[in-house]
């Protein structure tokens, strides 16, 4: 096992990794920007090192500063968390070059799955169903029109290097195709440094269902059940649950096997997630693979009793998983709500500031992963995730009741949060029946009634 591990990240995920390391007996090194001097991950780690000014480009994304800290402090592993360098093949390659273990897959696997157009082709070749669309990238309008003849409209133009719900455009008619292609290419170029785009059929009212996998270097690859992440806004996840409501057992088995096949096809090691879309006829299509730990991993931990981060670290240290698929058992239902420092009444505008009060919920079946505390100043430079509340119940109704109860208990003052939004979702009759799909929030949640009446529950 490793002796000392550096966490190349901040926020709740840095805290999560420190907790895993402490249980494994590994010393931890936190890196931080000048804006994060008082951050919880800095306080909890065994050692902490400032790596630059507040903007992420000058600190958390500054590879020379991170690597020199790693070498100076003699770490033998680096955990990238999610975001920042987690899916940067160049970063994992540098780690390899200086003999520091990167907690994640090989640079080759990251690069392959990082190009979503190439990933689609690879998955298709491995016999995993993909959303009908272009074979690789499309370069111009003529190529796009050819593809549209086979997949029809609406279709979706996606950036090959895209992520975080960005770089996507839905196109309804042939007339709109050229413009959408041009803007998507320009946007992708600006946001991801690559203008490569590809086309997919736009699946109507789909559910986002994903499979958590975990693979060791001896080719033992497990799937740890499925998560439903259909509650999204602008293609970004807000609430996730496991198991997906109403998903039949036989679908889970088939999806799990497809995910394992996908992982084998690219010699995958570590924790990863294969994302699928499920259409109204329960057909599944591969969408993309995330080659890292995800924000929503705790719901899987709650229903399997496994610690995915500890297992991820063990696998990176070339240890065997020590369990087989038959040893993975599921119990109950878990839901995660992402509590963001955003104002749902003002189009989810990020709202950094000082937390004048912060009293997280507790009690049976409730877990809170956060880096926040009373008096904490949320810096404006990074993402707005403040806390994740995860509620476990023997069944879905109990998980919903516990989540509701936990969110009502959660006291946060100083900044607006997405708690009132989550309460609306949890109280929605369609949600309660498990009728979810990716346009659910748009269609079923009337944000204009997020009035003081609802927030009064908390204010």
Binding site for ligand ADP (CB under 6 A): 131, 156, 162-166, 168, 200, 202-203, 206, 208, 232, 235, 275, 277, 287-288, 438
Active-site residue 292, yes or no? yes
- Write down the least CB distance from residue 442 to ligand ADP, Å: 11
**Residue labelled with tokens 């074979």:** 135
Nearer to ligand ADP, 285 or 410 (CB): 285
Nearer to ligand ADP, 13 or 277 (CB): 277
Task: Give yes or no for a cis peptide into 154 (omega within 30° of 0).
Answer: yes
Please give, one letter per residue, the 3-state secondary structure of 296-309: CHHHHHHHHCCCHH
Helix (H) or strand (E) holding 168: strand 168-171
Nearer to ligand ADP, 169 or 396 (CB): 169
Task: Determine phi and psi for 85, rounding to 5 degrees.
Answer: -95, 5
Nearer to ligand ADP, 77 or 157 (CB): 157
Q: For residues 419 and 412, is the Cβ–Cβ distance under 8 A?
A: yes
- Angle of helix 116-125 relative to helix 249-265, nearest 10 degrees, comes to 110
What are the residues whose beta carbons fall under 8 Å from the beta carbon of 99, sequence distance 6 or more? none
Helix (H) or strand (E) holding 287: strand 284-290
CA–CA dist 41, 32 (Å, integer): 9
Q: Strands of 234-278 (E only): list them.
A: 236-242, 270-278
Nearer to ligand ADP, 235 or 320 (CB): 235
- Write down the least CB distance from residue 437 to ligand ADP, Å: 9
Q: Virtual CA dihedral for 47, 25, 372, 335, nearest 10 degrees?
A: 150
Task: Determine phi and psi for 91, rounding to 5 degrees.
Answer: -65, -45
Residue 252 corresponds to which tokens in the numbers above?
């889970």
**Residue labelled with tokens 């901040």:** 10
For ligand ADP, the nearest residue by Cβ is 438
- Write down the least CB distance from residue 168 to ligand ADP, Å: 6
CA 201 to chain centre: 23
- Write down the least CB distance from residue 210 to ligand ADP, Å: 9
Nearer to ligand ADP, 4 or 166 (CB): 166
CA–CA dist 411, 402 (Å, integer): 16
- Write down the least CB distance from residue 254 to ligand ADP, Å: 20
Catalytic residue, from 27, 292, 338, 345: name it.
Answer: 292
- Write down the least CB distance from residue 48 to ligand ADP, Å: 31
Residues noted as catalytic: 292
């Amino acid at each position: 096992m490793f002796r000392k591990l550096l966490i190349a990240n901040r926020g709740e995920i840095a805290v999560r990794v420190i907790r895993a390391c402490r249980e494994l007996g590994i010393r931890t090194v936190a890196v931080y920007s000048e804006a994060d001097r008082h951050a919880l991950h800095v306080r909890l780690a065994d050692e902490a090192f400032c790596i630059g000014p507040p903007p992420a480009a000058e600190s958390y994304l500054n590879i020379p500063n991170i690597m020199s800290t790693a070498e100076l402090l003699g770490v033998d592993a680096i955990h990238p968390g999610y975001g920042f360098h987690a899916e940067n093949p160049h970063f994992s390659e540098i780690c390899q070059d200086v003999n520091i273990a990167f907690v994640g897959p090989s640079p080759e696997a990251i690069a392959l799955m990082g190009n979503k157009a190439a990933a689609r082709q690879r998955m298709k070749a491995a016999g995993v169903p993909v959303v009908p669309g272009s074979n690789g990238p499309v370069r111009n309008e003529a190529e796009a029109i050819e593809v549209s003849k086979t997949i029809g409209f609406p279709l979706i133009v996606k950036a090959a290097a895209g992520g975080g719900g960005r770089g996507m455009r839905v196109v309804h008619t042939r007339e709109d195709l050229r413009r959408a292609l041009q803007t998507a290419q320009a946007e992708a170029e600006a946001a991801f440094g690559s203008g490569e785009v590809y086309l997919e059929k736009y699946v109507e009212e789909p559910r986002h269902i994903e499979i958590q996998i975990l693979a060791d270097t001896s080719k033992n690859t497990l799937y740890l059940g499925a998560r439903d992440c259909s509650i999204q806004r602008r293609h970004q996840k807000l609430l996730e649950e496991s198991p997906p409501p109403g998903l039949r057992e036989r679908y889970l088995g088939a999806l799990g096997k497809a995910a394992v096949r996908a992982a084998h096809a690219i010699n995958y090691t570590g924790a990863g997630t294969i994302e699928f879309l499920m259409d109204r006829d329960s057909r599944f299509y591969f969408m993309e693979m995330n080659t890292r730990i995800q924000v929503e991993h705790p719901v899987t931990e709650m229903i399997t009793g496994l610690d995915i981060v500890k297992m991820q670290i063990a696998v990176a240290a070339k240890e065997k998983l020590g369990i087989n698929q038959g040893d993975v058992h599921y119990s109950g239902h878990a839901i995660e709500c992402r509590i963001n420092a955003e104002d749902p009444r003002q189009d989810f505008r990020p709202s950094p500031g000082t937390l004048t009060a912060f009293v997280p919920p507790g009690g049976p079946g409730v877990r809170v992963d956060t880096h926040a505390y009373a008096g904490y100043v949320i810096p404006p430079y990074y993402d707005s995730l403040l806390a994740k509340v995860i509620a476990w119940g023997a069944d879905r109704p109990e998980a919903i009741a516990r989540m509701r109860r936990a969110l009502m208990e959660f006291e946060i003052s100083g900044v607006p949060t997405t708690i009132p939004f989550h309460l609306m979702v949890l109280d929605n009759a369609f949600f309660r029946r498990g009728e979810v799909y990716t346009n659910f929030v748009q269609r079923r949640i009337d944000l204009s009634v997020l009035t003081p009446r609802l927030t009064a529950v908390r204010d």
